[in-house]
Every structure is written in structure tokens, then in C-alpha cells.
Amino acid sequence: MSPTTNHRPIKYSICVSGAHDGATVAKSYRLAESLGKAIADTGHILTTGATVGLPYHAAYAAKEAGGMSIGFSPAASLREHLRKYRLPYDCFDFVNFTGLHYVGRDLYLVQSSDAVITVGGGFGSLHEFTSALEAGKPCGILIGSGGTADVIPSLMEILVPPEDGLVIYDEDPVKLVERVIDLIDIKYKDIHDQLRRDDSWYLHTDTPPRHKG
């Protein structure tokens, strides 16, 4: 469990990235559901590309477990989301209509998340992984889920990654989520320490203190 302030725990935004169709959806949809549920059970926020396939299974499971799910759509409006892209809406607490199409949406999604977990996946998931790694985000790889997730270890050996210490591999979705959260905790240790000392540090000095009680 993540460190807490005097009032409430910090909620991380954890992205589940995966294939929208293809063989890995049929193979690994249960694993995606386990990821979504695990994120919800830890009290953190699931982010996805507001799409079908493995991200949808993760988002649906997170909502079923009582968690919060936010989708980042390539569309510019609800109408475009439903009519042009033919994407789901039923398992999201909020959909951010980015209007950036798929490539721009991927970058926006990654930058809006504290970590990215890859399950299965194709080229879109590879784009999100490399974007997350370049941005210094913790990356979880669900080994054995097929597609991009099982290709990444080889790529990390062949290429020179910017920060290979940010990449975590595990075959267990629940353990992977826990390990990713631990890595985010380390990354944000200075923030947690500051909030323990003063959880209203961001208020101006002339702002009356909040009522605590």
C-alpha cells in the first residue's frame, strides 16, 4: 500500500496497454481483467486508451471491482468516439476526448499516467511502451501474455534502453501491479515525505488553513 498523507492516500494513474484485437485478446483477456481488478483493489486509478480488446477487459474488471477507470479517446467528442471510432463508453468514469487520433492519444495517455503496464499488444502497445520508457515512467511487462509483452525482453537486450531499471517483468498480474506501485512509491518518495510534513504545502501563505476535523 502506498504511503499516505494526513488525510488520504495518493492515487496513482496506472495505464494498462494491450491489443485491441488479434490473437492476444483471446489468449490474455483474463490476464487483462486481473490487472484491472488488481489496480482497483489497491485503490489506484486505471487509465486506458478507451478502446476495445485487452484495455476494455481491464477497464470493465476495474469497474466491477469498484475502482475508477478513465479512458483517453482518440476522438474529439462523444459522437466521434461512438460513431467514427466505434469505441466503448460503458466502463469509464470519465472519457477524455483528446481529439489527437491514435498516435497523439497514445502520447497523451502515457504522459497522463504514472506507470504503464503492457499485456499482450501490437504496434500501438509498443509505441506506448517506448513512449513511457523515454518519458521516465515505470513500465510493467506481463510475461506470457503474448504479442508486444513477450517481444520487449528481446528488444531490451538488443537496443540500449534509456532507463532499463524502470522495466519490471512478471508472469503474475497481481504481483506485477504490486511491484509497479512499489516502483512509483520510490519515484515519488520526496513527494510523500513532503506531504507527511505538510499536506497543504501548495497553498499560498495568505490562504487560511483548511479545517481539519
> pLDDT digits over 83-130, tens only?
999 999 999 999 999 999 999 999 999 999 999 999 999 999 999 999
- Burial zone of 6 (CB within 10 Å; 0-12 exposed, 13-18 middle, 19+ buried): exposed
What pLDDT digit, counting tens, does each position of 158-205 carry?
A: 988 887 789 999 999 999 999 999 999 999 998 888 888 877 766 755
Q: What distance in Å separates the CA atoms of residue 87 and residue 72, rounded to the nearest whole number?
A: 11
CATH number, span 13-197:
3.40.50.450
Q: How far apart are CA 158 and CA 161, in angstroms?
A: 9
Q: Characterize 82-121 residue by residue with b for buried, 16 or more Cβ atoms within 10 angstroms of its Cβ, and e for exposed.
A: eeebebbeebbeebbbbebeeeebbbbbbeebbbbbbbbb
